[in-house]
Every structure is written in structure tokens, then in C-alpha cells.
Structure 1
């Protein structure tokens, strides 16, 4: 059974990211299923740290982006999800190519959600694992 409560397409998610940090880093939504959302990110100079490796912060941006967007797609439009806490373990270095993040829910509650994101390289080697906690808030009515 699908976890999604809002209709979306990969195109609509990618359009949502226009003119944001997500677009600047080249994050591109590439797949989703009944219980996961996936996006890719290039590893190049704009995602490097000074030593020429994938910046851990770029991996965290990918993980928080995936978890936050997925979380918001799991609540009705009367609610929104915002980040409370994120952690990341950087397992392997990467200098170039592409990484692919896949997020899945650990907990979908009425007031909080927890999302686990695994980031792999093209050879399916684990680069980073991250856990994001979101607060579920009621949207304020606009006048």
C-alpha cells in the first residue's frame, strides 16, 4: 500500500526545486515507489570540499531534501513537515560521478516522522547513511 497522500510526478518534484539550493547542487528526482523516493546528485566541483571529495554537507542536503519532500507528500495539504534533526555517517569518499539517494520512512506519526536515507555510488557502494526527524505541523489558514 502506497504511503503517499498527495499526487506528484518526478517532473513536478523537479520543477518544485527550480531556483533553490537543490537545483544548484544538481539534485534530480529519478524514481519513486510505494514506500520510497530517490534522487541523484552529481559529484563535481560544485559538490566538492577543498580536498576534491564529495562534501559531507552536500550529502546531508541530498538526504534532507529527500526526507523533507517525501514527508510532505505523506501528509494532506492541511499539514506540512519541517526538519527537526538530521544526522549522517559518511562511509566512503567519492571524487566524481554520481550518487543516488533513496529515502524510506522509519516512522510516520501524527506529529513526527523519521526518514532513513541511504546514498550509494554507481556501483551500489554505500557512501552515506542519514536519519532525518521531521515535525508534522498544521498549516495556518491564509486570509
Structure 2
């Protein structure tokens, strides 16, 4: 039985309960063969003291969506995924609305993966550009 896209998204978001993703209200909203998209509301919970989106919250969104993308594209029965490096270039500030992080693979290797993550606002303005390296390590049985 093949799951519908809505069922896959529901299951993915259920895995985010009691995690940083739930704390920041990050929701997986779309996916395809080689990408994953997550959404995070911009409000006082993710602001810097001067009322704009905190770069750390943006990096947390980017690492969450990128790691989750690597996680769903590997055999999780045999491997677990960990982020090993993230870079974030913040290009534009935002005070309210939503940001969307779209993770796409640059490299999808057996051991390491490299993802490009574009963070945009509700009007598709580019907010940040991030790169995430992840590693797939064998589970000890």
C-alpha cells in the first residue's frame, strides 16, 4: 500500500513532536524525489531582541529540514543521520509571516550528503542561503 502525500507529511510531522522542531513550530509541508520543504512562523519566539528573525532560528530550521531530508532518503533500518556542518548566509531580515526552507541535494553519497537550503519568505524573497553536510553512519545491532 502506497501512502498519499498527505499521509507521508502527517507521519513526518508526528516524528517532530517533543523536539526542537515542535518548539519552533517547524512543519514539513512538501517533498519530492530530491527535495523537502519546511515552514516556520516568524514571531516573537524566534526574534532577536530588536524584533527580526534570529539567525540561530534560521540555522535551526535549515539544519532540521536538511537532516530530515537526508533521513528520509537513507535506509533508517541500517543507518542513522547526523548533521556535521552547517553554514548560513543571512541576506534579508524579516519580522513577521513565515519562512520556508527548501532542502535539495547537491551530493547524495552513501556516507556523506551535501544539501543546499534556500530560506524564503511568504513572497518568495530570499532570506538566507545555507549549506548542510550530513553523515550516514551504520547502526550497531
3-state SS in 2 of match to 1:9? helix
3-state SS in 2 of match to 1:75? coil
Question: Can you give the 5+ residue segments of structure 1 that lack an aligned partner in the other structure?
Answer: 1-7
> Which consecutive aligned stretches of 4+ in structure 1 deviate over 6 angstroms post-superposition?
none
Give the distance between the partners of 1:107 and 1:80, measured in 2 at CA.
17
Query: Could you say which residue in structure 2 is the equivalent of 1:30?
Result: 29
3-state SS in 2 of match to 1:99? strand
Query: Could you say which residue in structure 1 is the equivalent of 2:50?
Result: 51
Query: Could you say which residue in structure 1 is the equivalent of 2:129?
Result: 129
RMSD between superposed Cα atoms in Å: 0.9
Segment of structure 1 superposing worse, 75-84 or 40-49? 75-84
Task: Work out the number of aligned pairs and report it.
Answer: 134
TM-score by length of 1: 0.91
Question: Can you give the 5+ residue segments of structure 2 that lack an aligned partner in the other structure?
Answer: 1-6
TM-score by length of 2: 0.92
3-state SS in 2 of match to 1:101? strand
| Offset at residue 35 of structure 1 (A) | 1.1
Give the distance between the partners of 2:62 and 2:128, measured in 1 at CA.
9
Per-residue Cα deviation, 1:45-91 (whole angstroms, up to 9, x for no partner): 00101110000001101100011111011111201110110000000
Query: Could you say which residue in structure 2 is the equivalent of 1:99?
Result: 99
